[in-house]
Amino acid sequence: MPTIQFLDRDHAILAFNERVLDWATRPEVPLLERLRYLCIVSSNLDEFFEVRAEPHLTAELSGDQKGLYTADSFKALAAKAHDMVTRQYALYNDNLLPEFGRQGIRIVAHGERNAGQRRWVKAYFEREVRPLLIPVGLDPSHPFPQVANKSLNFIVRLSGRDAFGRENDIAIVKVPRVLPRFIRMPTQGANKGTLFVSLSSVIRAHLAELFSGRVVEQFSQFRVTRHSDLAVDEDDVKNLRTALRQGLEQRHYGQAVRLEVSASCSEYLSDFLLQQFNLPAMALYRVHGPVNLVRLTQIVDLVNDPKLLFPAYTACYPVQLRPGQSFFTRLKQGDVSIHQPFESFDGVLAFLREAVHDPQVLAIKQTIYRTGADSELMLLLREAVRRGKEVTVVVELKARFDEEANINWAEMLESIGAQVVYGVVGLKTHAKMLLVTRREGRHLVRYAHLSTGNYNPRTARLYTDVSYLTAEPLLTADIDNVFVHLASQSRLPKLHHLLLAPFHLQRKMVEKMNALGQAASQGKDTRIILKMNALTDEHLMQTLVRAGQCGVKIDLIVRGACMLPAQVPGITDNIRVRSVIGRFLEHTRVFYFRCADAQELYLSSADWMNRNMLRRVELAWPITDPALRQRVIDECLVAYLHDTLDAWDLQADGAYKRVQPSEPANSHGAQTALMARYSALR
C-alpha cells in the first residue's frame, strides 16, 4: 500500500489558531467577542512559544540541519508566526479599533488627549504608577536586570551624562504586574462615550520624568517570552512537590524564545535586546500596538455591554436529573450523562455535595488535574475530611501552568488529614474520575463520576464535555482498582470495562480498527467516527490509514492539531477530517466503531497523542445503554458532521477550508442547535 507523509505538528497547531482568528474577523460576531477571540489567539501563541519553540530555536542557534528540529524548521515556524501576528495587529488597528470608536469606546493615545485628560493621566501616574517604578541605568555594577516571562518593560536610550559623569546610555524600566493594563478615564463635556488609557501610554507620556537631567532619545516597550515547560527528573528527586515548587520559582526566567517590541523601536535598541537575550533576528516581532494583546481582555470585562457580547446562555439543570432528588436513588435506576456546557456542571457538584453530607458515605476518591485556584469542589473535599470521611485525592502536580494551584490544594488537603498521592512516577494522571463508597444495609455500594473534561466549574461553562454518572458494579469496581493502583503502584488487576493508558488504551483502539479493516475487506458495512482535540499519535494514524484503505468509512472531528492528511488520492480517500471552532471550546473525546448493526461507543479523557497513550494515565469507558449511546452519537457526532456554520474541512494539501452551506439561510451549527435544544428544556 502507498505510504503517507504526516503533516507537521507545530504547523498544525498554528493552523488551528488561524481558524480561531477567523472568528475575530467576522462582522456578524459581536464586537467584544471578536476582541476576545483575538486575545485567545494571542494567549495560544504565548503558550506555543513557551512550550514548542525552544528546540527549533536551539537548532537555529547551533546551525543544526539534521533531525526533527532544524534551523530550517525554526525559520519556517517563525515565518508562519510573523504572518499571523501581522494579521492580528492589522485586524486590531484597521477593523476592531474603528468599530469600537463607532460604539463610543476609545483607547485614547497621548497625542489625542486634551489638556484635561493629560492632567488626569499625570495625576494618575504620580499617584498610582510612579511610586512603583524603579528605572535601572545599565553599567558594570548594574547589569541587565532579570526580566520575567511575558512581563511589560521599557528600554530607553539616554543622551547626556548620569549623576556621576558617566555616559551609560541604556536604562530599563520594569512595569509591575500588579498595575492594570487599561484604565478607564472620566468623561467630561463633549467627550461622551467610554474612554480608556493604556498603562504603557501613561508611562510613555511621563518616561522623561524618570530620568532627571538626562534626555530620552529613543525608547520602546518590550516583552520577552521564555521557555516555560517545567522539566523535573522524577527519578532523581525525593519529593516531587518540593522539586516542582523550586522549578516554579525559576519558570519565569527560562531561556528566551521570542522578543516583542514596538514597531517604532530603533535598530540600536532592538539589536541590543536581541544580544542580551541571545536571540536571532527572526525571533524579533515588531508590533503596531500593545506588545501584549492578551491584556485587552480587560477591555471586554470593563465595557461588559450586553449588546456587544454573545446573548447570555444559561445551562439547564441536567435533564436526566431532578433538583433535590437523591443521586444514590437515581443511579440505581440507570446511568446518567450530562452534556456540558449545555447542561450545567452543577449536577456534578450536587453529586459530590450529597456524598459529602450523607452520613452513610464512608469514602470519597478523586483525581485532580485542573480545578482552578478557587474551587467549590476542593472546598467540598475539605468538608468531607472534616466530617470524618476517608478522602483520597490523586493530585497531578505537573498539570502545565496549573502546578502552583494544585500544589496549594494538595498541601491544604494533606494538612487536614486527607490521603494525597501524586500518581505514578513518570506519568501524568490525566484521567477524570470520582468514586463514592456508601454503606447501604450490610453492603458497601459504589457510585462514580467519569468525565471527558476537568473538574473546573469555570471552564465547564466554556468547554464542551460529557460527564457520566454510574453505579454499575463492574465499572465502579474498575475505577476502584485504578485508584488502588495509583496509590499503591501495585499490579493492576484485569479490568472489566475501563480501558486504561498507558496499559491497554492504544492497543485496544488499534485492535478495534484492525478488526473493522478486516471486516470491510470482506465487504461488510463499517464505520469509524472519532472526536477529539488532537490527533498526532503515528501508530494510531497508521492504523486509521490502513483501515481506510481496507474500505472503512472514517470521519475524524479534530478541533486542534491533526497530522493525518485527509482525502489524499490513493492513500486516505476514505478519511475525512473536520475541525469545529465555535462559541464554546470543543473538548469532548468520543470514539465510535460500527460493523453492520454492531456498535461500540467510548468516552475518554484522552486525545490520540503519543503522550496520552504512553506517558499518561488516561481512561476510556464504554456507553452500553442504547438510549444514552444514541444520545451521545446524535449530539456529539452526527450534529458536528452536519455542521455548516462553524466547521472547517481538511484538504489533501494540509490546508483547511471553511464549510459553506449550499443555502446560507439553512446553515446548521451544532453548538447553536444544542443551545436551542437545551434552552427549551429549562
Cβ burial of 146 (10 Å; 0-12, 13-18, 19+) is exposed
Q: Which of 430, 449, 485, 587 is catalytic?
A: 430
**Distance in angstroms (rounded) separating the CA atoms of residues 486 and 424:** 6
Position 483, amino acid: F
**Distance in angstroms (rounded) separating the CA atoms of residues 599 and 624:** 9
Locate 665 and state its grid cell. 439561510
**SS3 string of 435-447?**
EEEEEECCEEEEE
**Distance in angstroms (rounded) separating the CA atoms of residues 573 and 2:** 12
Calculate ∠ Cα 12-547-430, nearest 5°.
50
**Distance in angstroms (rounded) separating the CA atoms of residues 63 and 57:** 10
Residues in the chain: 682
**SS3 string of 77-134?**
HHHHHHHHHHHHHHHHHHHHHHHHHHCCEEECCHHHCCHHHHHHHHHHHHHHHHHHCC
Q: Are strands 390-395 and 419-421 parallel, antiparallel or unpaired?
A: parallel
Between helix 54-62 and helix 71-91 the angle, nearest 10°, is 130
547 touches 530 (CB < 8 A) = no
Buried b (16+ CB within 10 A) or exposed e, 362-395: ebbbbbbbbbbeebebbebbbebbeeebebbbbb
Closest listed residue to residue 585, CA positions, set 301, 341, 345: 341
Number of H helices, E strands in the chain: 21, 27
Sequence-ordered list of residues with C-beta below 8 angstroms from that of 440, at least 6 positions apart, any chain: 328, 360
403 touches 422 (CB < 8 A) = no
Cβ burial of 307 (10 Å; 0-12, 13-18, 19+) is exposed
Give kind and range of the element (H or E) at residue 595.
strand 590-595
Cα–Cα separations (whole angstroms), residue 211 to 42, 137, 163, 198, 218: 33, 9, 10, 21, 13
645 touches 668 (CB < 8 A) = yes
Q: Any catalytic annotation for residue 430?
A: yes
Q: What strands, in cross-sheet order, belong to the sheet with 105-107?
A: 105-107, 194-198, 182-185
Q: 512516577: which residue's cell?
A: 425
**Distance in angstroms (rounded) separating the CA atoms of residues 399 and 605:** 14
Active site residues: 430
